[in-house]
Amino acid sequence: MRKTQGRHGEVAVELHTDVPDRFRVGLKLFALAQDNSRRELRVEELWPHKALLVLKFAGVDSISDAELLIGCELQVPRSERAQLESGWNYVSDLVGCVVFDSGREIGEIEDVQFGAGEAPLLIVGGGDGRHEIPYAEAYLKSVDLERKQIQMQLPEGMLDLNAPLTAEEKEQQAGANREAPRNKKTL
């Protein structure tokens, strides 16, 4: 949830869904806070506002009540999920899946982040560190949610973009910093 909207506990939310019409009066949702605590909410009223959706929840009746929800992620219970077309998946189902690149195991999806581009970023932890991998159709070969496996074919060097420095690279960087000329600052 992005911000409070109004004086009676309303909040403005940014939607990350291909099924925006699922939101309706009476819908039960969960608000997942950054500390992983979860709160059940029921939609009392809703209306579009600019590129956002304004939601009024039962029992959230003031700006201070609404402020407690800012930064929370809204989650739709499995029982309320819309049926997806074949080949489509809910992003929340991807967490816990193991990612493979051309058959080589990269690691397990720890989180999915939005906002860095058109495709969500899979945060993948593995033996060689953490990787941010775009969940883009161009790289996707197959998704098997039952086996918790995602097969991808990533471009050459993509996993090296945000990889941690090796011991040798750290030493080279430290040496370069020692040899760099120092300039005096003038005021």
Span 86-135, pLDDT tens digits: 777 887 789 999 999 999 999 999 988 876 677 888 999 987 788 999 99
- What CA–CA distance (Å, rounded) separates 131 from 106? 9
Per-residue model confidence (pLDDT) at position 88: 79
Distance from first CA to last CA of the chain, Å, rounded?
45
How many CB atoms are closer than 10 A to CB 120? 19
Per-residue model confidence (pLDDT) at position 163: 60
Span 157-171, pLDDT tens digits: 888 776 656 667 667
* Rounded alpha-carbon distances, angstroms, from residue 178 to 165, 169, 174: 18, 14, 6
| DSSP H/E element including 175 | helix 167-179
DSSP string, 78-128: GGGPPPPPTT---GGGGTTPEEEETTEEEEEEEEEE-SSSSSPEEEEEETT
- Percent above pLDDT 90 for the chain: 48
Phi-psi region of 160 (alpha: psi -120 to 50; beta: other; left: phi over 0): alpha
Per-residue model confidence (pLDDT) at position 186: 40
Segment 75-86 mean pLDDT: 80
Q: Which residues of 18-37 are buried (b: 16+ CB within 10 A; e: fewer)?
A: eeeeebeeebebebbeeeee
Please name which of 41, 120, 27 lies closest in space to residue 80, comparing C-alpha atoms.
Answer: 27
Per-residue model confidence (pLDDT) at position 13: 92
Phi-psi region of 133 (alpha: psi -120 to 50; beta: other; left: phi over 0): beta
* Rounded alpha-carbon distances, angstroms, from residue 16 to 13, 51, 104, 113: 9, 12, 30, 11
